[in-house]
Structure 1
Amino acid sequence: MKSEILRQIGTISRSLDSISNVEFARFELAKGQYLYLSRIKENPGIIQHRLSELLCVDKSTANRAINKLEQKGLIVKKDDLKNKKEKRLYLTEEGEKVYPLIIRENEYSTKIALKDISTQNQEIFLEVLNTMSDNISHDWLEVKKGHIRKY
């Protein structure tokens, strides 16, 4: 039963990602770029390093996605006032127009996913998911640093 939990979470994640990639293709957003757009909107001025950690992706993956979003005119990079090596990320006016559609899709998907699940069970599930996310994020950071997990 335990191994089934992550399999089901993976199935849900891949399904929703596939749906989003199809639905956001009209904005030329591909392969999870909508996630970057959302996190930048929710964290205006976020630096690339922090964004990659937030999304649990390596720096080169984040860099490619960020550059594509910048080329499409959806985000802009601005110099950090204290650290010239860092760039702060913000949505452009065009990015601001796309964001509400991403949120509507997210709200709809959430409504479908949680259909027939009581509010109490949703709260418990969220608590469990947050704990799982914290556990996995810690491992991800360790592996990213080059550590090998002991199975």
Structure 2
Amino acid sequence: MKDILRDIGIISRSLDSISNIEFKEISLTKGQFVYLVRICENPGIIQEKLAEMLRIDRTTASRAINKLEKNELIFKKNHHQSKKSKMLFPTKKGEELYPFIIRENNHSNSVALKGFTEEEINDLTRALDRVKNNISEDWLSVKKGNKRQY
């Protein structure tokens, strides 16, 4: 069986490294841009839902969110139904960074898909979606305390 997860890991680490360099000038550190993009695209999202969406544990998400808030890229607001839950919104400064981040993402997609036909891109998209869904199911199961069977 081909070990695709090693290749996916290499792709992920390469893109993280590029992003860290590219986003240094706008004071976004490792991985924070992912949170900012999702908050811009889903204003009012609660922290727990964001962590679930990104498949990140709550503690990691909390640290990144607090840094974004400290850098005045997002702000928190009490949820109208639960004072415990905080809704997350981008600030004007955060919204201004969104197009720059999306432009970088689009460029990375173009580089990654260079030389692919439209059919190959569609096939790859479908295949990766299946991989993501399989892993997501496994992630949810483990997060609920279940053990994986090796």
The TM-score with structure 1 as length reference comes to 0.96
- Name the structure 1 match of 2:73: 74
Shift of 1:146: 2.0
- Name the structure 2 match of 1:125: 124
Deviation string 1:98-143 (CA, Å, 9 cap, x unpaired) is 1111001000000010000001110111011111101101111111
Unaligned runs of 5+ residues in structure 2 are: none
- Name the structure 2 match of 1:92: 91
- Name the structure 1 match of 2:39: 40
Alignment of 1:1-150 (within 5 A): 1-3=1-3, 5-150=4-149
Deviation string 1:71-106 (CA, Å, 9 cap, x unpaired) is 000001011111221111110000011111100100
For 1:13, give the aligned amino acid: S
Q: Residue 83 of structure 2 aligns to a residue in which SS? A: coil
Q: Residue 66 of structure 1 aligns to a residue in which SS? A: helix
The TM-score with structure 2 as length reference comes to 0.97
Please report the RMSD computed on the Cα atoms of aligned residues, expressed in angstroms: 0.9
Unaligned runs of 5+ residues in structure 1 are: none
Q: Residue 135 of structure 1 aligns to a residue in which SS? A: helix
